[in-house]
Structure 1
Amino acid sequence: MDVSDRVVSPVLIIGRSGRAFSAALGGRRIVRDRVITSLAPSISHNWVVEGQTVRPLPSDIGKVVHRLLGARNPDELSFADVVALLATPLELIPVEADEGVFVPARTEAELLPDDFSIPGLNATLFPYQARGVQWMLDIGRHTGGFILADEMGLGKTIQIIAVLLAEQPTPDAPALIVCPTSLIANWKQEILRFAPELSVLVHRGPYRTGVSSGLRKAQIVITTYDTLVSDIAIFASVCWSWLICDEAQALKNPDSQRRRAIASIPRKRSVPMTGTPVETSLLDLWSLVDLAIPRLLGSREDFKARFPDDEESARGLAQFTNPIVLRRRVADVAGDLPERIDIDVPLELGPELSRQYAQVLADTLERYPVAGALVATGQLQLFCAHPWLQGGGPADDDDDAQIERRPAVPLMTPKLERTVAILSEAFQSGQKVLVFAIFNRCGELVREAARGLPDAYWGAINGSTPQEERQKIVDEFSAFDGPGCLVLNPKAAGAGLNITAATIVIHYTQAWNPALEAQASARAHRRGQTEPVRIYRLFYEDTVERVMIDRSEWRRDLGNDAVPISTREVADLKRALSFNPGAENV
């Protein structure tokens, strides 16, 4: 065997076998544009064998690798170890991952059997759900956490219940489910329905315990985010077998009190659940991943330096997060769902409303010279909903914008006319309709405009509707023998509620965050729906609403959930203010 005296460049190669990761030391050289990689006998050797030739590595490479690995066993690396090693500065030693190290969760789940069953589960899982449960059980044992990000309507709740039934917690180390107040009853009901052998304790309200031992009386404890913050001392005194965070978008702000409280809870496995893992910035994803697997993506400061908020960083980040984020879409895995028909309805303001729109823009920019851009977009959204609506700030703060009737402006606008036409057709055929509007008083205007239509059920759910009344309203709407209209604020009723009695959805106002619209549509188009669902988006051309529609389409076409909306924030805001449909009339 020949011995070369030419030192080759070192490289640390990460490989994978099953769920096991390992590190191997190699040497690399380029011959006629061809890369040749050879392995060392171990990470302690400073030479490699290439065919019949022994080639040296740098003499101190063994010390470098041992210093890099620290206490890690090179033959038994964790997923977190792999991610940390790949962040090693190139000047120390290049670290590379073999193909197959970072396999997306969805790809791995698709390879699992369809016929997985769990004793005691009072339901037959759909094939994709069975595969998802198997994947979650496996990844949970090996990483200690993951994110369940299936699209709305695919049954995230029953999959989690199946996981808890397959690997049952004990009262000494119970599972903790944290969710919004509106979903407490749903979680309890679903557990009792699908896994009645599991014991459940709801910790909320005046009957909650004041000592940690009071939480160790059932296999599963359900509480709300606000209650957990208030009682963090007793929650932090229990080592939980599972920490399940439903509607985990509530935890995306790492500085929030509830996010800090959740992070302080001792637990063996963590599962943030959300259909929208990224909404505004990549820090959203860091916040959720760091809850699922603490320190996987490094500190917050290191993360922001390594992954700035742009599309290139988002795609690079996806390599590390896709293996622990299970994200399936309705269109991908639920072919047995009835047809969904999306119908965009562009509208024209008309000369007089265009003139008024332009006047609102000019007046607002003059009145608010510093924060004018943000306030103006909010005022223009209000105007597009209806000129009678009046509020003082950005649209997100104007849920309760008031109605100021103006004799010179009629009730019926192009948008209301189209809404009434859709309602009329629906009512005549006995169908039920959901109308989503981010301004609460829109419901009053819609009902007033539709006063000449056939008798129907009318209801509304918004932020002022008591939590305990919301499901009751949905039940009444669903049980009503005839047509109906339910007007919903998507921030209050755009998640968690199952309203499959409706077969028509109208998005009366648009949202800057396309995830809000997707969640709202999923209230009707989800498991349990037996009829085709028509989804209408009503918007005015050449207004702020056109920008909002285009923003939603951009995000959908991009097809990458890790890309933050904020990458287009400045451009979208500038474009929203560039439209002036009535400039010639001002």
Structure 2
Amino acid sequence: MREIQDECFFPEGLLCELRRYQEWGVKYILHQGRALLGDEMGLGKTVQAIATMVSLKNTNATHFVVVCPASVITNWCREIGQKSKLRVTKVHGARREAALVSWVKLGGVAVTTYETTAYFVLGNDFKFSLMVVDEAHYIKNAKAQRSINVRKLCEHTERLLFMTGTALENNVDEMVSLIQILRPDIFLSIRGISFMAAAQQFREQIAPVYYRRKREDVLTELPELVESRDLNTIRGVCEILGNQCMNPINGSLSPQRRQEIIDEFNMAPAGTVLAAQIQSGGTGLNIQSASMVIICEPQLKPSIEN
């Protein structure tokens, strides 16, 4: 604990303030070098990753990679641009090869998708400083092609950060498969005791690589939650609010259209309402402009609401 607290963090070039628990998370990532950050959704894993890259840049690091699902690649690029002075390059789509060449030459953060990692052709001696893998449970299956491609790319990085809001304690096999990539030494020590996931011995063994905070752990640093129940559908909400309500976000929208609606909402005047299906609107999107979130359709799984 003392070693992590004393870890140097250099925030120059970070354009936002971190909460205390977020700065601690950054120091944990920097100190450990290879880590699995499992903070609950909404606690700011993205900004902790960005702050880590900023600190490393201030100690002469030049190249970084973020691998994420295609649905959030635009959001990652925007978050990096808004919250830091880091140069960001989207390596995706028709211009992926040119973008990759530009990133290799000029440095900064290459943001790409799991599928596009297949096109990352780098020289054996080319190394970059940090690779961030968002929604890392996507590569739980070692035999899947995207898992193979990401593991190959890991060979070029000095530091490795896996991130997931999924509670891996509920699926120990997923956790162990990710730890195997990050820290083979720890994997060997827990391979035979994974059935004891709830035991203190297991938690102590994975502490150097797996770090997770829940909302209740950091409540003193978060705004108060006000909960009020009302059981109407998204259609009813839209009908009642009329012109005050924007086009709803639902599962039929493309990721691009989803992001366009988010952008329109962020620029809309006070009092504007964005209606969204909870599973469509909550998948990796940051709706920073909302001053209030109202859940109108209670979910069977509380984790989805969280």
TM-score range, shorter chain: 0.7 to 0.9
- Indicate which of 234, 237, 240 corresponds to 1:453: 240
Indicate conservation of the 8 Å contact 1:270/1:293, yes or no.
no
Q: 1:28-427 alignment to 2 at 5 Å?
A: 108=1, 112=5, 117-140=10-33, 145-168=34-57, 174-196=63-85, 198-209=86-97, 213-217=101-105, 218-228=107-117, 230-232=118-120, 234=121, 238-265=126-153, 266=155, 267-278=157-168, 280-298=170-188, 303=191, 306-308=193-195, 312-315=196-199, 316-342=201-227, 418-420=230-232
RMSD: 3.5
Comparing both chains, which one has the higher relative contact order based on Cα–Cα distances under 8 Å and sequence gaps of 6 or more?
2
Give the secondary structure class of the aligned counterpart of 1:285: helix
Give the secondary structure class of the aligned counterpart of 1:487: coil
Indicate conservation of the 8 Å contact 2:40/2:214, yes or no.
yes
For 1:474 and 1:191, how far apart are their aligned partners in 2?
A: 17
Q: Pick closer, same or farther for the CA change 1:454–1:208 going to 2, 3 Å.
A: closer
The residue type equivalent to 1:319 in the other structure is E
Equivalence for 1:555: none
Indicate conservation of the 8 Å contact 1:244/1:271, yes or no.
yes
- The reply on whether 1:469 has 2:281 as its aligned counterpart is no
For 1:194 and 1:485, how far apart are their aligned partners in 2?
A: 24
For 1:484 and 1:211, how far apart are their aligned partners in 2?
A: 37
* Deviation sequence 1:186-218 (CA, Å, 0-9, x none): 22223233331x332211111111797554122
Q: What is the deviation of 1:245?
A: 0.5
The residue type equivalent to 1:273 in the other structure is M
Unaligned runs of 5+ residues in structure 2 are none
Higher normalized helix content (fraction of residues): 2
Deviates most, 166-175 or 334-343: 166-175
Indicate conservation of the 8 Å contact 1:115/1:130, yes or no.
no
For 1:467 and 1:258, how far apart are their aligned partners in 2?
A: 20
The residue type equivalent to 1:505 in the other structure is I
Q: What is the deviation of 1:246?
A: 1.3
Indicate conservation of the 8 Å contact 1:113/1:131, yes or no.
no
For 2:274 and 2:14, how far apart are their aligned partners in 1?
A: 36
TM-score using structure 1 length: 0.45
Q: What is the deviation of 1:276?
A: 2.0
For 2:2 and 2:305, how far apart are their aligned partners in 1?
A: 28
Indicate conservation of the 8 Å contact 1:177/1:246, yes or no.
yes
Indicate conservation of the 8 Å contact 2:246/2:272, yes or no.
no
For 1:184 and 1:339, how far apart are their aligned partners in 2?
A: 30
Q: Pick closer, same or farther for the CA change 1:170–1:183 going to 2, 3 Å.
A: farther
Flag as ranges the 4+ runs of structure 1 deviating above 6 A: 169-173
The residue type equivalent to 2:279 in the other structure is P
* Deviation sequence 1:460-511 (CA, Å, 0-9, x none): 3233211111122223345255353513251563333325526243262635
Q: Pick closer, same or farther for the CA change 1:212–1:240 going to 2, 3 Å.
A: same
Equivalence for 1:487: 276
For 2:137 and 2:2, how far apart are their aligned partners in 1?
A: 24
TM-score using structure 2 length: 0.81
The residue type equivalent to 1:307 in the other structure is S
Give the secondary structure class of the aligned counterpart of 1:124: coil
Larger radius of gyration: 1
Q: Pick closer, same or farther for the CA change 1:287–1:492 going to 2, 3 Å.
A: farther
Indicate conservation of the 8 Å contact 1:169/1:219, yes or no.
no
Give the secondary structure class of the aligned counterpart of 1:341: coil
The residue type equivalent to 2:57 in the other structure is Q
Identity %: 29
For 1:202 and 1:419, how far apart are their aligned partners in 2?
A: 41
Indicate conservation of the 8 Å contact 2:140/2:147, yes or no.
yes
Indicate conservation of the 8 Å contact 2:62/2:129, yes or no.
yes
Unaligned runs of 5+ residues in structure 1 are 1-107, 346-417, 421-442, 519-586
Q: Pick closer, same or farther for the CA change 1:180–1:461 going to 2, 3 Å.
A: same
